[in-house]
Amino acid sequence: MRKRMDTKEPSKLRGGLRILSPDMPWLYVLSALVMTLLVEGLARRTPIGGFRFLARNPIGFWVNVGIILLTMLLAMLCPKRMPALSLVGFIWFVLGMAECILLSSRVTPLTAVDFTVFFSVITIMHNYLTIPQIILIVAGLALCIGGLVFLFIRARRRRVYWRRALMTIGGSALMLMLLLVSGFAGGRISADFSNLSDAYNDYGFGYCFLLSIVDRGVDKPDDYSREAVQDILDTIPAGTDSGAAGNTKPNVIFVQLESFFDVNTLAGVTYSEEPLPNLKRLAAMYPSGQFEVPVIGAGTVNSEFEVLTGMRVKDFGAAEYPYKSILSEKTCETIAYDLLASGYRTHAIHNHQGSFYARNEVYTHLGFQDYTSIEYFRRPEYNKREWAKDSILTDEILSLITATEERDFVFAVSVQAHGKYPTDYVPVDGDIYVTGGVNDPLSLSKLNYYVSQLHEVDAFVGALYRAVMDLNEETVLVFYGDHLPSLAKDAALTLTTPDYETPYLIIANYELDMTAASNGQSLYAYQLFPLVMELIGNREGIINRFHSARKDTDGYLADLETLEYDILYGKRYALDGGSYPVMADMTMGTRPVRITEVTSNEKYIRVTGENFTRYSVVTVGGSEKKTQYVDEHTLIVEKDLLSGLGLSRTITVRQVTTNRKTLSESPPFLFAPTGSETATEGGSASAP
């Protein structure tokens, strides 16, 4: 039987039913107004946040109302308008709640790119939310979705008045355009987000979140042409790999320190001892200074992007992560590619999940020949928040340097000092702790924990420094912080330095002229690698030479933006139409995972081999099996799990992340239950 469709005109509805009709435009306007107040209150984490926004920036407020109204008016095109309107409202409410929850653990607001890393983040969600909180959120979402499904099932289908709906939507869009024009003209709205947190606060959540969806890439310069690019190239010297004085070609090590900053810059806060003794001592001996990064509290990969490429994140879309957009499909110049062209081996290393921010894929577009993530570390230690300790990086870095005959570039990303910081932490014997200047108990707990981790990270800095100084190979070692922790912006603390500045330090274990890196010099993140290349006398790469030649000249940033557009989005005139090669053969880990023997008894299959870790998973016939890790040479699988797979079975070992992403797979091994075991020929196979 066909469902009855209500075809009555709204004018024929009676009493209160007419007032509540989903065909009445005022209902959508009222819904958008209420939802804007609710979302802005959640985003500002105060019930009156929306009203404050309205009072401070009326045009900005009504722009946000207009954006939400347009999305809600789409329900007029649906036969079941009330459920459709409820669905749109639910989506905006979820976004507001997500923003509220997110800002409890970081400074950076919610953007569209956060949804592109959702499956990476879900594996560390327990570090930010308790299990009861996660259960409550999931249950609440399930209940609301169930309610929406019920509404859609039970609601009566109504006739769609297309002309009226389209005229209403068009009129609302026109009003929004007029508001935007007025806002831009009066400076109440802007598309230039120099500070993302401030932009959300000034222009509203709806507008900023929408801009994070549609604003992508580097804008095409008005005068973009082959001639314009050539004019820029004419201002920089030709490329030569001259080497430093005496033709020395040193190893280069970059260490990106997670949430690392000098806590002595917190006003009035005192400690039981110096939190950063190694940093302080080394900063007095070698070039150091403040380093301006593009993010605060989160967004590590944007600092990483600027350091590796020499490009500015500000030239890209609002809240864009190039790792999740253009670099997922294209290559560009990096320090790794430049040093690779100079005969270096290039390595990346990270003591966290290998697929986080899709590094296992993006690094193939950044010039790395191998990438060692936590899945390949033999015996990592973890802190209370389950972040791997940085001390393990020392031996891993040294093993990369000493294992090759060539010079090496090592890019190491640490993780130990990562938030969220506990509110119930009590210092134990031997811990450094806060002795004064913090009165709020929760802030004190978080700062005590952070300082204890920072002190351990500083110990890692000292240990790696000593190890590098003992090397027989000339080596340049660079440390820098990726961003300030969100803790630095805690209401109970006062930061005396700019929000986007972290320390950097440049060290050499041989006599190197460091005049170009004068002590106390301030840098932008995108200027670091050209500075280091200048110190070692390497002039490979256009971006590298551009920074060295043009950093103090007129048109510096505009011309840099032109080169960025040309290399990533344009005709690549600067590269004569060519491109940097994709590192398709990048290996995961530098110690091959290999099976040497498979034996069995009545209960278990024992897989013996080399370089197994806690992330190793045995596969039989291509199917992953529950695997017990014994040690780096032994894995065990219950024999019952192998039933029904035939007499001969191909066995491999995969390195698998916590979100079930396969990073690499060992050569296959043919196991026959009769007792004959033979290994096939071939090297380690990378994951597809």
Token readout for 589 is: 């880990």
Query: Rounded distance, CA 488 to CA 500, Å?
Result: 11
> Which residues on adjacent β-strands are paired with residue 670?
650, 678
At 193 the pLDDT is 80
Q: Are 404 and 378 in contact (CB under 8 A)?
A: no
The angle formed by the CA atoms of residues 342, 393 and 259, to the nearest 5 degrees, is: 95
CA-nearest of 199, 111, 201, 107 to 486 is 107
CA-nearest of 311, 336, 368 to 538 is 336
The residue type of 263 is: V
197 three-class SS: helix
At 171 the pLDDT is 94
Query: Rounded distance, CA 640 to CA 500, Å?
Result: 56
Token readout for 580 is: 């940097």
| pLDDT at 240 exceeding the cut of 70 | no
213 three-class SS: helix
Of 364 and 132, the one with more pLDDT:
364
Domain with CATH 2.60.40.10 in the chain: 591-686
Token readout for 397 is: 């870095």
What torsion, rounded to 10 degrees, do the Cα atoms 605, 606, 611, 615 define?
40
Cα separations in angstroms, 318 against 98, 145, 511: 19, 31, 43
Residue 109: pLDDT band (50, 70, 90) is: confident
C-alpha distance across the termini of the chain, in Å: 50
At 311 the pLDDT is 98
| pLDDT at 119 exceeding the cut of 70 | no
Look at the block and give the residue holding tokens 């922790």: 485
Query: Rounded distance, CA 686 to CA 533, Å?
Result: 32
At 327 the pLDDT is 95
Query: Rounded distance, CA 61 to CA 278, Å?
Result: 49
Q: What is the DSSP string of 572-622?
A: -GGGTT--PPP-TTPEE-SS--EEEEEEE-SSEEEEEEES--TTEEEEETT
At 73 the pLDDT is 95
Q: What share of the chain is helix, strand, coil (3-state, %, to 5)?
A: 45, 15, 40
Query: Rounded distance, CA 416 to CA 388, Å?
Result: 6
Q: What is the mean pLDDT of residues 236-257?
A: 77
- How many helical (H) and strand (E) elements, i.e. helices and strands, does the chain have? 21, 24
| pLDDT at 684 exceeding the cut of 70 | no
The angle formed by the CA atoms of residues 220, 226 and 227, to the nearest 5 degrees, is: 110
At 241 the pLDDT is 52
CATH fold group of domain 243-532+544-549: Alkaline Phosphatase, subunit A (3.40.720)
Query: Rounded distance, CA 306 to CA 641, Å?
Result: 48
Q: What is the mean pLDDT of residues 450-478?
A: 97
Q: Is the dihedral of CA 149, 151, 153, 158 positive or negative?
A: negative
pLDDT tens, position by position, 315-349: 999 889 999 999 999 999 999 999 999 999 999 99
User: What's the pTM value of the predicted model, to 2 decimals?
Assistant: 0.87
Domain with CATH 3.40.720.10 in the chain: 243-532+544-549
Token readout for 40 is: 């802005």
| pLDDT at 526 exceeding the cut of 50 | yes
Token readout for 11 is: 């004018």
The residue type of 47 is: P
Average pLDDT, the chain: 89
The residue type of 22 is: P
Of 382 and 125, the one with more pLDDT:
382
Cα separations in angstroms, 665 against 87, 224, 397: 44, 45, 23
Query: What is the share, in percent, of the chain residues with pLDDT greater than 90?
Result: 71
At 418 the pLDDT is 94
Residue 516: pLDDT band (50, 70, 90) is: confident
Token readout for 429 is: 């014997």
pLDDT tens, position by position, 250-306: 999 999 999 999 999 999 999 999 999 999 999 999 999 999 999 998 889 999 999
CATH fold group of domain 591-686: Immunoglobulin-like (2.60.40)
At 456 the pLDDT is 98
pLDDT tens, position by position, 601-629: 888 889 999 999 999 999 988 889 999 99
Query: Rounded distance, CA 117 to CA 122, Å?
Result: 9
The residue length of the chain stands at: 688
| pLDDT at 675 exceeding the cut of 70 | no
**Neighbouring residues of 320: CB distance < 8 A, sequence distance ≥ 6:** 113, 212, 215, 216, 217, 313
At 106 the pLDDT is 74
Token readout for 247 is: 């033709």
504: left (phi over 0), alpha (psi -120 to 50) or beta: beta
| pLDDT at 389 exceeding the cut of 50 | yes
| pLDDT at 245 exceeding the cut of 50 | no
At 114 the pLDDT is 81
Radius of gyration of the chain (CA): 29
Look at the block and give the residue holding tokens 């990106």: 256
At 19 the pLDDT is 54
Q: Are 281 and 438 in contact (CB under 8 A)?
A: no
**Lowest-pLDDT choice from 92-96, 211-215, 390-394, 407-411:** 211-215
**Phi, psi (deg, nearest 5) at residue 608:** -110, 140
Q: Are 471 and 400 in contact (CB under 8 A)?
A: no
Q: What is the mean pLDDT of residues 393-417?
A: 96
Residue 678: pLDDT band (50, 70, 90) is: very low
